[in-house]
Structure 1
Amino acid sequence: MTSPSSVLTPPAPARTRDPLVDGLRTVALVRVLLWHALAWAWLSWVFPAMPVMFFLAGSLLATSLDRGGWARTALRRARRLLVPFWVFGAAVLVTTALTARRSGEELALGDAWRWALPLLPPVGAEGQQGWLTSHLWYVSDYLWLVALAPVVVRCARRPVLASVVACAGLALLELGPRAGLPTPVGALRTGVGDALCYGLFAVLGAAWAGARALPGRAVLAAVAVTGVGGALALTTVVPLDRGSLNSSWLLLALAALGWLAALGLVEGPLRRWSARGGAVLRGVTARAVTIYLWHPAAIVLTRTAVDEVRPPGGAWTAVPLVVTGSVVLTAVAVLAVGWVEDVAGGRPPRWWPVRGARPARPALLLPAALGPVTAGCLALSVAFAGGPSPSLLAIPGPSDRSALEQSAFDAVADPDVVLPTREAPLAELPADVLQQALDDWVARTDGIDAASVGVASGAERWDAVWEGTSSVALGTGLPAGEPVLAASLTKGVTAALVLQEATRGTIDLDAPVPDLDGVPPGVQVTPRQLLHHAGGLPQYTQTPGFDPDRVWSPVDLVALAVQAPPLFAPGEQVSYSNSGFLWLGLLLEQVTGQPYADLVADRVAGPLGLTTMTVEQREVPGWVGFSSGGVVASPGDLARWQGALFSSDLVLTPQARAELVDLQPLGNGLGVWPSCPCGTDPDGTRWAMGWGQSVNAGGAFALPAEHVAVMGYLQPEGDRALEVAPDLATTLAGVLPGRVGGA
């Protein structure tokens, strides 16, 4: 059997620069930038950038080991990576501090030691600089590759065996949970997956560096077809997040093997093309570390600027503007701090590393770096202050704290192209299929130990309900069907009750909220603005006089918020506000003469048969649930409620429901949040795939076109649970029968 590692002609002799390395690395960096800027799922299938990066790293590392031994090679490689990384890290930490100061939040640095020696990737708070750190896993993986270089070279002596073992390990890692086999979870699973997938390509690169024989074209073609075809075929077994190949190590490895074989078929033209690239390709590969580290900052700044200046409906301008701006700002970073790579490599610093270029004058280096970097830190702190807008992310997820910018709705023009539908609600839900999907999801999702979920389908009362639970860690099991705190899902209940009263004529959505007992008068804000989180009220926890150790009443907390300086004039923008929804609860009690808990029982739980839904009455220091976060119900009842809210006339009239989900003008509904894909119809009407909200312990989402709603309660609570809740909903909805059309 011929080695799959030998898919390209061996590199040129040790002391001759191989232009093919420059060409492949340049293409890989371009693909990485495009993916991070646009995140089109199909891009993940076009040229496997990170496997190629590790392939080239393994090749160059093996060549260096032949020249100078492991200790010398490890020291030089680590220095060439870490010095530029430290400069980048300093800029990120400055951005983090500035962002925290602007938003009034506590400074979040994560594990600070990782910025000194990133054997584990440094990851900070998403709202302060998270998008600038999510790509740094590559830095950590590369350092481990350097540390384990002797093992990599040893494995490269038998590349076929290494390929078989790695692919078998990845298959066990991803498919093992389906067969009930024990597999790693959490951070250990991530480490094992990275080691097997990217370690394989480092091994193949090392084997390529020392290859002496090549397979024939027939073998290359067979590997290409088998690799890519196998990855495509396995998509029916291994679910991919939004169709992205990057969500599966196994499929990525197979597709990358196929790609490398395909490159081997055109190795001659590729090398000639790379040779013609000359100084440009050599310069890009010599600044590869700078480009990789700084390009996310360029993307964030560009997308922020595009969102500000692009007119509504200007979707056709978004892609070229984002790509062009990201490339230009990355080039600015290369000119400003790229010379640090020369210093780290022991070379004279140059603005652009080409033969014959004069070294830069040392007196100019620091001033030339400090200006752009300082300006960039200030601009990034503005972009991140208060949490990154979903439009900064290439594929906006469900917006649980921020309204979606116009760019989110420009992303897709026709909902029929993207939105899967079902012809009718499901009469019953397949418990075995859902349980298997839940078990698989919990097993493969890092940072989640247990989940209790409810899935509902229906047209009116949503009576087809399934509740299940799954756990991967001993002692973290969650009983299925037991009531959980709905937290901010309560806001959808409050919004429905306010809209019911608006239909009755007792509340005018667009007139100032009337004076309420205990609430200081003088603030002119409407119920509609409060429902949109656009009232300008600060969170009560951020107001002067708030004591987290005191037991508060709703009226006292609203009084604190009303007396505090407003965040902005009502109606101008969105800032998530528990204070505003407490005020709405007080308004409901005044106009109806009933306690909020009775309104929930009489108007929501009773008509829909939600037997577990109540409002929590216990007193907790520093927190009041009430109409902002006090509803309690089982995951199944919360899923039924979420589905009925967006489709049932038992809750709202069609006219009131249309107001609930109207995304004009602020990009969110009335107490509910859209989940993308999103778009704009030809008549200017915005639409969204689904509705719901993420909360600290998961979230609930309704997919009206699919007649399905999902609620997930996850452990441990926190940012990770909030982040992955939409993926859980999509996964469980996707395994149900009866879907037609589709994404």
Structure 2
Amino acid sequence: MTSTSDRPELGAQDTEKMPVVEREPDSPAPRQGGRDRYFDLLRAVALFRVVLYHLMGWAWLPIVFPSMGVMFALAGNLMSRSLGKRPGPEVIRGRLRRLLPPLWLLGVIGVTGMVLAGWGPGEEGHPAWWWLHLGYWVLPLSDPPYAEVSHGIQGLVADDWPTALGVPLWYIRAYLWFVLLSPLLRRSLRAAPWTTILAPLVLSAGLEFTSATTTSWRLDSTLTDFATFGSCWLLGMAHHQGVLQKLPRYTVPSLAPAVAAVALWYALAHDLHQDHDLDDMPFAQSLWSFATVLLLLHLSPSWRTWPPALRRWDGLITLLNSRAVTIYLWHNLCIVIAEPLWDHAWNIPYLESHAVWLLNSPWPVLPLTWLLTALCVLTFGWTEDLAAGRRPALWPNGRQKGLRGWRR
């Protein structure tokens, strides 16, 4: 999940001396190789917003910045770039190789902890289903199973830690399906660009207004997430292939705010509040994410180097991008650990007497959560390097080489 390539600038050429080379029909309105730092910034902001939302639960955060739609769009852009260079099966294998090992490590630790705490084959009605569903920790074609509650550690880990571990995994499942479908989506995008891009929104509307369901909640979840975020993934692919660049410049600034307004109206009409936000309204989420992603891609400045105001953040943004999977997989568990740790501050007499407001505030939990997440990056992040065939690094902020003595 990294960047796109830049549109090359064409200089004057001596056509009598230089042969004419035809481009492929779908070749992106492309950019030169290398990282697009604008996309890196979007991914870093998206990750930070995800952590902040899971801690605070503010309903307005997904409106200010719809992280999941942005992350799917960036991943779709990268997938399109890869499919333009290598055969589909090879690209899919490469994506699975990068995605699955960090998930497997989480599963080994998490499932082992749940089993030791008493979770087992009797949890899903029939032992055979439990064993079968464990396979989703290996290949998450559906949501990996987890215990609703399990014995925590008094004063250190709350009993709902399995839920914190398992709930965010819907993104991994949705990402996997988008990867598997991308060769087909790419062909469809070439044949009928805007019909393909808008099809998931039509599906989302159909699911919303017909209340259509299947016989399986697992299939329902997969269809709903495809309908909600499929257009974002396709916008990312379309941006790389040059589809968006062919639109008149006034189209996106005129259309996107109108779509966003419909999404916001629909959310407000369906009781948007603290415990009922866009994540609970797939249709509103699909429209809002589509509109926001469309604007962000339209505005895309394609930075090869950082603007002066952002250069100081280069190391942090590089680190967040290099360890995006690790941060996403472990941050929610870090929140569940950070909250009871902060509760120990009530044992400090001065704070209890003079700063009750601070003890009741969630803000001190935020840096504590990021500290624990940083420890997870140090402890588990190297699996992302191994999965990608890179030299392992403990803290890949762009200023550190891999571990000495490592050989591929």
With the length of structure 2 as denominator, give the TM-score of the two structures: 0.77
- Asked if 1:61 is matched to 2:79, the reply is yes
Q: Which has the larger radius of gyration?
A: 1
- Asked if 1:218 is matched to 2:250, the reply is yes
Instruction: Quote how far apart the aligned CAs of 1:52 are.
Output: 0.8
CA contact (8 A) 1:97 1:107 kept: no
**What pairs with 1:412-561 in structure 2 (closer than 5 Å)?**
none
CA contact (8 A) 2:79 2:237 kept: yes
Whichever residue aligns with residue 224 of structure 1, its letter is A
Q: 1:329 to 1:236 in 2, by over 3 A?
A: closer
Instruction: Quote how far apart the aligned CAs of 1:77 are.
Output: 0.7
Give me the whole-angstrom Cα distance separating, in 2, the residues matched to 1:328 and 1:214: 45
CA contact (8 A) 1:283 1:352 kept: yes
Match 2:144 to one of 108, 115, 122: 122
CA contact (8 A) 1:159 1:204 kept: no
- Asked if 1:320 is matched to 2:338, the reply is no
CA contact (8 A) 1:240 1:247 kept: no
- Asked if 1:27 is matched to 2:27, the reply is no
- Asked if 1:140 is matched to 2:162, the reply is no
Instruction: Quote how far apart the aligned CAs of 1:193 are.
Output: 1.2
- Asked if 1:305 is matched to 2:333, the reply is no
Which residue of structure 2 aligns with residue 351 of structure 1? 394
State the secondary structure of the residue aligned to 2:85: helix
Q: 1:265 to 1:63 in 2, by over 3 A?
A: closer
Give me the whole-angstrom Cα distance separating, in 2, the residues matched to 1:183 and 1:236: 24
Could you list the per-position Cα deviations for residues 197-245 of structure 1 after superposition, in whole angstroms to 9, with x for gaps in the alignment? 2222111111111116254553222223112211111135545573411
What percentage of aligned pairs have identical amino acids?
31
CA contact (8 A) 2:334 2:372 kept: yes
Whichever residue aligns with residue 226 of structure 1, its letter is A
With the length of structure 1 as denominator, give the TM-score of the two structures: 0.44
More strand by share: 1
Structure 1: stretches of 5+ with no match in the other structure:
1-7, 364-743
Could you list the per-position Cα deviations for residues 234-287 of structure 1 after superposition, in whole angstroms to 9, with x for gaps in the alignment? 135545573411112211111112212432464339885597343332221111
Give me the whole-angstrom Cα distance separating, in 2, the residues matched to 1:11 and 1:96: 49
State the secondary structure of the residue aligned to 2:364: helix
Which residue of structure 2 aligns with residue 535 of structure 1? none
State the secondary structure of the residue aligned to 2:318: helix
Give me the whole-angstrom Cα distance separating, in 2, the residues matched to 1:225 and 1:138: 26
Instruction: Quote how far apart the aligned CAs of 1:356 are.
Output: 5.5
CA contact (8 A) 2:142 2:222 kept: no
- Asked if 1:96 is matched to 2:111, the reply is no
**What pairs with 1:49-448 in structure 2 (closer than 5 Å)?**
49-100=67-118, 110=130, 111-128=133-150, 129-157=162-190, 158-177=192-211, 182-184=212-214, 186-211=217-242, 213-235=245-267, 237-238=269-270, 240=272, 242-264=275-297, 266-268=299-301, 272-273=306-307, 276=311, 277-310=313-346, 311=352, 314-317=356-359, 318-355=361-398, 357-361=400-404
Instruction: Quote how far apart the aligned CAs of 1:98 are.
Output: 3.9
Instruction: Quote how far apart the aligned CAs of 1:35 are.
Output: 1.0
Give me the whole-angstrom Cα distance separating, in 1, the residues matched to 2:134 and 2:213: 30
Instruction: Give the CA RMSD over aligned residues.
Output: 2.9
CA contact (8 A) 2:73 2:235 kept: yes
Which residue of structure 1 aligns with residue 25 of structure 2? none
Q: 1:155 to 1:135 in 2, by over 3 A?
A: same
More helix by share: 2
Q: 1:341 to 1:264 in 2, by over 3 A?
A: closer
**What pairs with 1:689-728 in structure 2 (closer than 5 Å)?**
none
Give me the whole-angstrom Cα distance separating, in 2, the residues matched to 1:225 and 1:275: 27
CA contact (8 A) 1:42 1:243 kept: no
Instruction: Quote how far apart the aligned CAs of 1:299 are.
Output: 0.6
Whichever residue aligns with residue 343 of structure 2, its letter is D
Give me the whole-angstrom Cα distance separating, in 2, the residues matched to 1:243 and 1:112: 31
CA contact (8 A) 2:97 2:387 kept: yes
CA contact (8 A) 2:101 2:387 kept: yes
Give me the whole-angstrom Cα distance separating, in 1, the residues matched to 2:363 and 2:302: 29
Whichever residue aligns with residue 371 of structure 2, its letter is V
Question: Which structure is richer in relative contact order (CA contacts within 8 A, separation 6 or more)?
Answer: 2
Whichever residue aligns with residue 165 of structure 1, its letter is A
Whichever residue aligns with residue 314 of structure 1, its letter is V
Could you list the per-position Cα deviations for residues 576-606 of structure 1 after superposition, in whole angstroms to 9, with x for gaps in the alignment? xxxxxxxxxxxxxxxxxxxxxxxxxxxxxxx
Instruction: Quote how far apart the aligned CAs of 1:162 are.
Output: 2.4
**What pairs with 1:582-597 in structure 2 (closer than 5 Å)?**
none
CA contact (8 A) 2:59 2:272 kept: no
Q: 1:124 to 1:356 in 2, by over 3 A?
A: closer
Give me the whole-angstrom Cα distance separating, in 1, the residues matched to 2:64 and 2:399: 36
State the secondary structure of the residue aligned to 1:224: helix
CA contact (8 A) 1:156 1:207 kept: yes
